[in-house]
Structure 1
Amino acid sequence: MLTDTILEDPRWEEHGLVDAAEYAATAALVYLKMQPGDFTISLLACDDARIAVLNADFRDKLQPTNVLSWPSQELAADEEGARPDPPEPDRFEDQTELGDIAIAYDTCQREAEAAGKPFDHHVTHLVIHGVLHLLGYDHIRDKDATLMEGIETAVLGKLGIPDPYKD
């Protein structure tokens, strides 16, 4: 499996996150013409309390967030709007670890309800978003955000999920 999911909050089980995360992460890699079987991703499915601690520890933001990512390799492009470098294969393992993602149930639920979107669609989007961060994509600079959002929208479209950036 591409994703190794730890269900710290049991509410995620009701939504089949293990299978949904595998599906979303695989779709992102396939879209980018990467072989999912060559990689692994660790996913922590938690609640707002846990992600708030992680957000404080790693980003100095004392609040919960929807998703956090910790890439195993620094792949970001130097030039704004350029594609990141591909991950370097692990010389000692069959699969290359792309990194870790944490996703918070409470924030995802609140955001989905506020946007009037199905919870499962929002979670799929956030898993894809997290995977792209592991691959060096970001949304700090405008051209990088345009690139990342375009990929997210295209992957979601292939999964039959509407563009999350449209009003």
Structure 2
Amino acid sequence: MSRQPAPSSRSAVPPLVVDLVVEAGDWGAEEDLEAMAERTSAAVLARAPQKVRPGTEVTLLFVDDAAIREINREHRGFDKPTNVLSFPMQPPGAALYGPMLGDIVIARETVVREADEAGIPLDHHLAHMMVHGLLHLLGHDHVEADEADAMEALETAILGDLAIPDPYCGTDPV
């Protein structure tokens, strides 16, 4: 596990401190995951209108399909693996987020399979899952069609800032 602040020009204290935990799966070099987490969190905070208290923590937990299936069953009642789960520590629409934003859990096999099926680079899809999870922690959702449209547009803009093509072009939303 490592703690890595996301870069920021807004204050001396980083707005987001990322706690990285690789629990299972071959995720590659932890430094690469840290760098991606820094870039994605900075891009989300640049676009998302919510205010995050400097030093706010978020945990990124990298697991395998077996682990996320168990978490999905326990917390959502779905007995199947999924790509990403988010567990916010703040109520939706909070005026100020912190000191703990929440947890994001990402499953290796599902993310790899989805990237392969979509014919996109794994790092693009993984960045998308990080962005998607962070937006959920900041109160965004996709339950209703208008929410889904707004969240999809925001994800697409953030990913564009990261030079990642629109992941929804011709596909169903996450």
Report the TM range for the smaller structure's normalisation: 0.7 to 0.9
Amino acid at match of 1:44: L
Distance 1:48 1:36 in 2: 33
Compare 157-166 and 2-11 and name the one that shifted more. 2-11
- Stretches of structure 1 that go unaligned for 5 or more consecutive residues are 76-84, 91-95
Distance 2:37 2:76 in 1: 24
Deviations 1:96-145 (A, max 9, x none): 21100100010000000000010000000010000000011010101100
Task: Name stretches of at least 5 consecutive residues in structure 2 with no aligned partner.
Answer: 6-16
Aligned match of 1:67: 84
CA gap 1:20/1:87 in 2 versus in 1, 3 angstroms: farther
Higher RCO (C-alpha under 8 Å, 6+ residues apart): 1
Task: Please state how far the C-alpha of 1:39 moved relative to its aligned partner.
Answer: 2.0
* Shift, 1:74, TM fit: 1.6
How far residue 12 of structure 1 moved from its aligned partner, in angstroms, is: 1.2
RMSD: 1.7
The answer to whether the aligner puts 1:120 opposite 2:123 as a matched pair is: yes
Task: Return the offset for 1:32.
Answer: 1.9
Q: Tell me the equivalent position of 2:167.
A: 164
Distance 1:142 1:58 in 2: 23
Query: Following TM superposition, by how much is the alpha carbon of 1:36 offset from its aligned partner in structure 2, in angstroms?
Result: 7.7
Q: Percent identity?
A: 42
- C-alpha deviation, 1:87, in angstroms: 4.6
> 1:13 is paired with a residue of what secondary structure?
coil
Q: Does structure 2 retain, via aligned residues, the 8 Å contact 1:87–1:135? A: no
Q: Paired residue for 2:45?
A: 29
In structure 1, what is the Cα distance between the partners aligned to 2:163 and 2:100?
28
2:53–2:97 contact (8 Å) kept in structure 1: no
Structure holding more helix per residue: 1
1:48-88 deviations in whole A, cap 9, x for unaligned? Answer: 0100000000001101000000000121xxxxxxxxx2453
TM-score with structure 2 length normalisation? 0.82
Give the alignment's TM-score, normalised by structure 1: 0.85
CA contact (8 A) 1:29 1:36 kept: no
Structure 2 residue identity aligned to 1:24: T
